[in-house]
Amino acid sequence: MELVITMSKRLVILGAGESGVGTAILGRQQGYDVFVSDGGPIKEKYQQELNKYEIEWEANQHTEEKILNADEVMKSPGIPEKNELVKKIRKKGIPVISEIEFAYRYKGNSKIIGITGSNGKTTTTSLMYHICKTAGLDCALVGNIGYSFAKQIAEDPKELYVAEISSFQLDDIQTFRPDVAILTNISEDHLDRYDYRFENYIHSKFRIAENQTAQDYFIYCADDPVTMQYLEKYSIKSNPLPFSMSKELPQGGFIRNGQMTVTVDDEKMQMNVSDFTLKGKHNQNNTMAAALGGVTMGIRKEKIRVAVQTFESLAHRMEPVSTVRGVEFINDSKATNVNSTWFALESMERPTILILGGVDKGNDYSVLLDLVREKVKAIVCLGTDNGKIQEAFKNDVQLMVSTSSAEEAVKAAFHMASPGDTVLLSPACASFDLFKNYEDRGDQFKQAVREL
C-alpha cells in the first residue's frame, strides 16, 4: 500500500502588523503552514495573537531559508518592492499577494464595498459604514481602518465588508473584486514608492475596478481631472456612477442649488446639503459617494438620510478641539499630503494660522499658494527640516516660525492669533520625524491646546 503525504501549502508573511497578523490567523485557520517574519520588533498584542493560534514567528530579522521556501508570500503594504528580500522572492518566482487578495479567497458569498483615493477615503469609508449600520445590515469596517479584512473573516465573518484600501494593497491583487468600488480622487501622493512616476500611482488606484463585472458598480468623481483623464485608458466593465458639483448627471450624484440628487438605475433620492453633518465642499463629494454606495446596496432613502444627518466626524480629520479666548483650534493631523491640506484650507472661513510640516514625500507646495494668500495670516512649521516650506511661502506669508514640538507649535500659533482666528494643524506631510504617527501628532496637538 502506497502512503500519500499531502504537504500543506507554505504561506510566509512579511510584516507582523494588523494586516500581517490577520492574514496569519486566517491562513492557519485554512490549513496553511504559516510563518511570520518581521525585520523589526513585533508589538506585544500581536505576539500574543500569534502565540494563541500557535503560529511560528520571528522578530528583528528575516531568516532567508525559512522565507524563500514559500509557496506564496503575503507582504505588508509598508514594505516596498525595492527591499532586497522582496527582490529575492520575486527572482525565485514566488507569488506575492496582499492581505486583501488573500482574504478575498475566503469571503464566501459576502459582498464588498471597496474605497480608495488620495483624499477623503477614510471619511467616505466611515460614512459608508455608518449608512450600512444605520440600515441594520450585517457589516464590518475593515482595511486601513478597523480590523484587517483577513482577521475579520477568520474571527467574525459578516455579510458585507466596507473596506478602506490603499494603493499599496491594490499593488498585489490578482482576483480581488469589490461589488462596489469607490475612487474618491487621485492626487500626487506616495510618489517615493512609485519611482516618482505619478502614472504608476494612478495605475494602482484604478486597479480597484479592474476585476469588476457588469453586475458591479464603479463610483468616481467626475470633477477630478486625473480620474477623468485616465478613465478611458482602462476597460472598466462595471456600471459607472460618477458624482459632480459642476454638472447634472442622469446616473450618479450631483449637487445643484444646495440640493444633492443621487440616482442609481431607477432609484432616486434627494437631500438638502445643509442637513449634512460633514461641512466643507470636499465632504459634499464624500457624502455623495457614500450615498451612492448606499443606494447600490438597496438601502432605503430614509435610512441614508438619517445616517448622513447623524454621522460624527472622525478624530484627526478636521476635528474641532476647542476655542480658547476666541481662537478656534482644529486638528487635521490626518492631512499627510498637500491635497488634504488644500481641502482643509478651502473650507476655512476665518483668518487662519496654519501649522505645516513633517516628513516631505516629494511635496509641491505651489498648489497651496492661492489659498494661503487668501486665508493664511501666519505659518508655524512643525518638523525637523522646514526649509522647503519656508522657501515655498516666504514671499506670501509675513509671519513664519519654526518649532520642533506640538506644544511649541500651539503656543507660537496662539501667540500670533487674535480672537476670531482659527489655528489649523494640517501638516501636508507624514509625521515620523517627531511623532510615532499622525494620531500621536494629533493627540499631542490636542493636549497642548488643553494646556493653554
How far apart CA 58 and CA 50 sit, in angstroms, is: 11
How far apart CA 235 and CA 369 sit, in angstroms, is: 37
Closest CA to 20 of 72, 58, 77, 65: 77
Q: Binding site annotation covers 119? A: yes
Closest CA to 24 of 73, 79, 78, 81: 73
Q: Which amino acid is at 115?
A: I
Q: Binding site annotation covers 117? A: yes
Q: Binding site annotation covers 123? A: yes
Q: Binding site annotation covers 122? A: yes
Q: What are phi and psi of 193, to 5 degrees?
A: -90, -10
CB 96 within 8 A of CB 172: yes
How far apart CA 125 and CA 338 sit, in angstroms, is: 21
Q: Binding site annotation covers 120? A: yes
> Which residues are CB-contacts of 81 (< 8 A; sequence separation ≥ 6)?
87, 90, 171
How far apart CA 151 and CA 55 sit, in angstroms, is: 14
How far apart CA 33 and CA 12 sit, in angstroms, is: 8
Annotated binding site for ATP: 117-123
Detail the residues annotated as belonging to a binding site.
117-123
